[in-house]
Structure formats: structure tokens, C-alpha cells
């Protein structure tokens, strides 16, 4: 047998296993939720839901529907009770078999969840899947709340939450905009191998920096990109902003400001480094108004580290 035939047969066996698992899931899901026969994104009758995306999970709990969740993805770290649920994997690297293992009767996923192959397997299993749009603005947060509420059959509760969040966001952004200084902020995603991976426009980091009344030092490109030393020096950031995480995301102030290019910036001269919890800072969920306030204060407070 050739190597190609071996690989093809191996792939076939895997596909058969997944289909068998999916078929078993369908049978079990139907027995668990016999009344559920709704189309695609109507999850109003679902009682065994997998939530994918930290902000989606937060919204479900804010709507007092956390008891309907049976699993969540690894970015769903808030509220604390969510961490007691089985972890279905990283939002962009879901394992279909892992999701099926918790016998869900629905999936509520943030836009960008994947990979597509895993979603295809879940769809083939007949599990209703509602996608929640992602946008890094105040209106985007409200749209998420409305979408989750509508999918869960909790539109009235979502309207109340949306109104409260809208008011809080408007107040927080107004407070931030009224501050006299507008620091230039460089969001550093990682410092892997001494290369600075920074945030441009159309990102969560760009959105929260703007909402906090500051200036994203990188406006020349969209998304995340590694910067050259010459580019970093030219950006002249007043503050470096990072997630409060380990590994390449967790470089300390000494390491960060010893970088040959970052050492030349105003941020290094005053050692201005702000760290915040990643989901709190970039999640764009019900807590974003509080994150805006904390970030606005931290960006203007020498030597501060927001938590």
C-alpha cells in the first residue's frame, strides 16, 4: 500500500469516527431536549449550551442564564464560575470531538470561532449554532448583548442590560475624553524573539485605546504586525500597553525597556508600562466601561499598573 493510500485511509477512518460520534451525539441530544426543534440560531429552548468567546460567556451570565451552559472555551475566564465548566479549547482552535463530548444541544459562538472544519463537523451533527458579531466599539458591545439575548429567548433581559451598559459606556468615554492629556499608546502583543508584535487599527487594542481617550501610536496598518526598530523609534509612544499574561505576552518592564528600539521612546524614559487582564481589557463585553475608566486613569498615572 502506498503512503498516500495509507494517509487517505487514515483520514477516512477519522472522518468515520467523527460522523459516528456526531450520530451518537444527535441521538443523545434529542433525548435530552426532546422539545427542541427550532431552526439554526434560535436557542431559546436549549439547556445544554457551549459558549465560545469570553465576552459571549460574560453576557450569558449577565443575563442570568449561566445555568444553561455546559462548557466554554479557554478565553471564557470570567465570571469565576465559568472556569468550573469544561474547557472546549481555544476559540480559534476548537476540537469538535471535545465539544460533542459534553452533549450540547446548542452552541453560542463569537464571530471568528473556528477552525471552519470543526464548525462543519458540529453543524453536520445537527447542533443549532448561533454566531455573535464582533466589533470593537461601544455599539458593537450592545449588538452582542442584543444578539445573545435574542438567541437565548431573553430579549427583555437583554434590553435592560443593553440600556445599562450603553449608559455606563457613554459616561466612561465622556470622562476619558474630558481628560487634558491624550497619551500616545503602543499596544505590544508579544516580544517573542526580541521582535515587537504591535497592534494597528481595526483591533480590540485600537478600540479600547480610543475609547479611553488616548491615541494609538500605530495607525499605518490594520491588524497586528511585527515592527522594525526604525518604525518603533518613529512612533514615539508615551506608554506601552500589554496584557497581564505569561510567556511572550508577559515581558517585564526591565526586559521591555532594554529593547534597543523601545529604549529610545518616551515610554522608556519615564518607564510607562500598563498591564491589564486580557479579557477585561480586550473582551468588549459588559465590563468594558469599567475597563475604559481603569485604562484612562492608568495611562495618565506614572508608573501605574492597572489590574
pLDDT tens, 213-268?
999 999 999 999 999 999 998 999 999 999 987 555 567 788 889 999 999 999 99
Q: What is the pLDDT of residue 167?
A: 98
CA angle 41, 46, 47 (to 5 degrees): 150
Helices assigned H by DSSP within 191-271: 204-211, 229-235, 253-257, 266-269
Q: How many Cβ atoms from other residues are within 10 Å of residue 249's Cβ?
A: 17
Q: What is the pLDDT of residue 3?
A: 44
Hey, do 49-175 and 179-300 end up sharing a CATH topology, with the first three levels equal? yes
Q: State mean pLDDT over 194-203.
A: 95
Phi, psi at residue 197, to the nearest 5°? -100, 115
For the cut 80, the answer to whether the pLDDT of residue 136 exceeds it is: yes
Higher pLDDT, 305 or 195: 195
- One of 3.40.50.1980, 3.50.50.60, 1.10.490.10, 3.20.20.70 is the CATH number of 179-300, namely 3.40.50.1980
For the cut 70, the answer to whether the pLDDT of residue 68 exceeds it is: yes
90-111: pLDDT as tens digits: 999 999 999 999 999 999 999 9
Phi, psi at residue 102, to the nearest 5°? -95, 10
Q: Tell me the fold of 49-175.
A: Rossmann fold (3.40.50)
For the cut 60, the answer to whether the pLDDT of residue 292 exceeds it is: yes
For the cut 60, the answer to whether the pLDDT of residue 49 exceeds it is: yes
For the cut 90, the answer to whether the pLDDT of residue 20 exceeds it is: no
For the cut 60, the answer to whether the pLDDT of residue 12 exceeds it is: no
143-197: pLDDT as tens digits: 999 999 999 999 999 999 999 999 999 999 999 999 989 999 999 999 888 899 9
Q: What is the pLDDT of residue 250?
A: 63
For the cut 90, the answer to whether the pLDDT of residue 71 exceeds it is: yes
% the chain with pLDDT above 90:
77
In the chain the beta strands, taken as DSSP E runs, fall at 49-52, 69-72, 106-110, 129-132, 184-190, 196-199, 215-216, 224-227, 239-243, 273-276
CA-to-CA dists, residue 25 to 68, 126, 151, 259, 268, angstroms: 18, 9, 22, 52, 55
Q: Can you give the residue ranges of every domain in the chain?
A: 49-175, 179-300
For the cut 80, the answer to whether the pLDDT of residue 274 exceeds it is: yes
**CA 130 remoteness from chain centre:** 16
Q: State mean pLDDT over 36-62.
A: 86
For the cut 50, the answer to whether the pLDDT of residue 36 exceeds it is: no
Distance CA 99, CA 104 (A): 7
Q: What is the pLDDT of residue 16?
A: 38
Phi-psi region of 68 (alpha: psi -120 to 50; beta: other; left: phi over 0): alpha
CA-to-CA dists, residue 153 to 38, 127, 177, 188, angstroms: 12, 17, 36, 39
C-alpha cell at 285: 463585553
> Whole-number mean pLDDT of the chain?
87
Amino acid at each position: 500500500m502506498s503512503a498516500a493510500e495509507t494517509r487517505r485511509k487514515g483520514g477516512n477512518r477519522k472522518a468515520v469516527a467523527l460522523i459516528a460520534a456526531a450520530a451518537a451525539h444527535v441521538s443523545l441530544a434529542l433525548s435530552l431536549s426532546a422539545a427542541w426543534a427550532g431552526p439554526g440560531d434560535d436557542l431559546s429552548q436549549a439547556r445544554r449550551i457551549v459558549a465560545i468567546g469570553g465576552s459571549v460567556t460574560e453576557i450569558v451570565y449577565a443575563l442570568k442564564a449561566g445555568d444553561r451552559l455546559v462548557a466554554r472555551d479557554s478565553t471564557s475566564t470570567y465570571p469565576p464560575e465559568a472556569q468550573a465548566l469544561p474547557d472546549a479549547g481555544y476559540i480559534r482552535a476548537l476540537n469538535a470531538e471535545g465539544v460533542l463530548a459534553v452533549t450540547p444541544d446548542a452552541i453560542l459562538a463569537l464571530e471568528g470561532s473556528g477552525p471552519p472544519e470543526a464548525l462543519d463537523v458540529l453543524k453536520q451533527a445537527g447542533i443549532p449554532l448561533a454566531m455573535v458579531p464582533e466589533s470593537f466599539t461601544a455599539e458593537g458591545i450592545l449588538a452582542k448583548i442584543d444578539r445573545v439575548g435574542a438567541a437565548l429567548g431573553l430579549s427583555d433581559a437583554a434590553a435592560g442590560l443593553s440600556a445599562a451598559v450603553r449608559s455606563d459606556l457613554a459616561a466612561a468615554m465622556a470622562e476619558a475624553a474630558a481628560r487634558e492629556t491624550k497619551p500616545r499608546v503602543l499596544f505590544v502583543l508579544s516580544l517573542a524573539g526580541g521582535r515587537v508584535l504591535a497592534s494597528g487599527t481595526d483591533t480590540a487594542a485600537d478600540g479600547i485605546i480610543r475609547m479611553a481617550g488616548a491615541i494609538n501610536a500605530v495607525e499605518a496598518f490594520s491588524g497586528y504586525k511585527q515592527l522594525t526598530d526604525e518604525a518603533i523609534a518613529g512612533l514615539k509612544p508615551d506608554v506601552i500597553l500589554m496584557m497581564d499574561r505569561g510567556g511572550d505576552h508577559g515581558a517585564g518592564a526591565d526586559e521591555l525597556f532594554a529593547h534597543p528600539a523601545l529604549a529610545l521612546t518616551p515610554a522608556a524614559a519615564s518607564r510607562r508600562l500598563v498591564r491589564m487582564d486580557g479579557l477585561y481589557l480586550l473582551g468588549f463585553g459588559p465590563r468594558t466601561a469599567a475597563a475604559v475608566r481603569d485604562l484612562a486613569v492608568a495611562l495618565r498615572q506614572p508608573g501605574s499598573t492597572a489590574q
